[in-house]
A = this chain, B = another copy of it.
Amino acid sequence: MFDEQLAGFKGDEQCIRVVGHRGARGIMPENTLLGFEWTIKMGVSALEFDVMITKDSVPVIVHNHHLNRDITRTPQGDWLNAPEPRISDLTYEQLSQFDVGGLNIFTEYGQRFPEQIFMSGQKVPQLADLLRLINRPEFRHVRLMLEIKSDPHVPDHRDRQAQTVEAIVNVVRAHNVQARTVLHSFDWEMLRMCQIEAPEMPTSFLSQLPEEEATAGSDPASAFDAYVGTLPSVPQAVADAGGYIWAPYFKDVTEHDVAHAKQLGLLISPWTVNDPHDMVRMIDLGVDAIVTDYPARLQREMIKKQVRWQRTEENTNAALTSA
């Protein structure tokens, strides 16, 4: 089941899929249309990105629940100051006034990506903008790992989960990309909602063990660790919850987990792997897909290991002939 969607994330002995994280955050501004376009053009056929809804229920592609001051400029061209507005408090019209094309290099976050180009005039995209992009004839092979964001700290959390899922699924259906989209989240409860509301798309379960959160950088990804942390086996729980992909924080992954996940028929797609040594470890563990901010860096480690990122017929075998 879901062969079409999963084809973009399924590896084998000779192939591991490269998934561009927020586009290719190491090189291009994260979660921007130009970043996505470049990532696809350079040969990355699977994109990971983050979606939530605005005050007027428009699904938009942005990571944090608040606008991140480290990457956001005001219409006047100044860096955003506190307080950072919540995405859910802005209409799309209001949100689209901000420029997210560059990092403030004087911040800790800005210093994490020294090769990221500084651009101006990049607005937070609507999910619909990205779906139009991948519906170009030349981009029909592209698969999406659509992360649905969820904030358990807001009072109307359950209502917002439902609204968010409905709005996102409607846009995906309107652009007819269900056969290329995997619904992905740390919010496992919301993923069950997705399975009911959108049975035509497979679900991908993110996990991160609590003790590792501190080392995950400035991406406070998961408010659901406490739950995951109590599970006897995370892959088993993903399978029991009807998931098709298990997306663990890469430092959590063990050989035993990989073997178990494969027994259970799950695909394994760890995130976010940016250091060559960690890349090598993931390759050696035999995961299916690797989510990275640095696709070129990952390609090199795969070439050294004689592992492809596309199928043979996709003409990258030449990268391997000189090993």
> Is A303 within 8 A of B118, CB to CB?
yes
Separation of A322 and B111 alpha carbons in the complex (Å)? 14
Q: Closest 7 interchain pairs by CB?
A: A77-B318, A117-B296, A42-B117, A73-B318, A118-B299, A106-B322, A120-B315
Decide yes or no whether A57 CB sits under 8 A from chain B: no
Residues on the B chain within 8 Å of A294, using CB: 115
Are the CB atoms of B321 and A79 closer together than 8 Å? yes
Given A42-B117, A78-B318, 4 further pairs, Cβ under 8 A: A27-B27, A79-B321, A114-B300, A118-B299
Chain B residue contacts of A121, Cβ below 8 A: 315
Task: Report, as a range, how many residues of chain A touch the other chain.
Answer: 35 or more
Copies of this chain assembled into the complex: 2
Residue A119 interfacial (CB < 8 Å):
yes
Q: Does A311 contact B (CB under 8 A)?
A: no
Give the docked Cα–Cα distance between A133 and B311 (Å). Answer: 31
Chain B residues positioned under 8 Å from A319 (CB to CB): 102, 118, 120
Q: Which residues of B contact A299 (CB under 8 A)?
A: 117-118
Separation in Å of the A144 CB from the closest CB of chain B? 20
Q: Which of A43-75 contact B (CB under 8 A)?
A: 43, 73
Q: What residues of B have a CB within 8 angstroms of the CB of A43 in the complex?
A: 117-120
- The smallest C-beta distance from A91 to any residue of chain B, in angstroms, reads 23
Chain B, Cβ-Cβ closest to A300: B105
- Chain B residues contacting A42 (CB-CB under 8 Å) are 28, 34, 117, 119
Q: Does A41 contact B (CB under 8 A)?
A: yes
User: Nearest chain B CB to A28's CB is how many angstroms away?
Assistant: 8
Q: Using an 8 Å CB-CB cutoff, how does the interface string of A13-50 with B read, 1 for contact, 0 for none?
A: 00000000000001110000010001001110000000
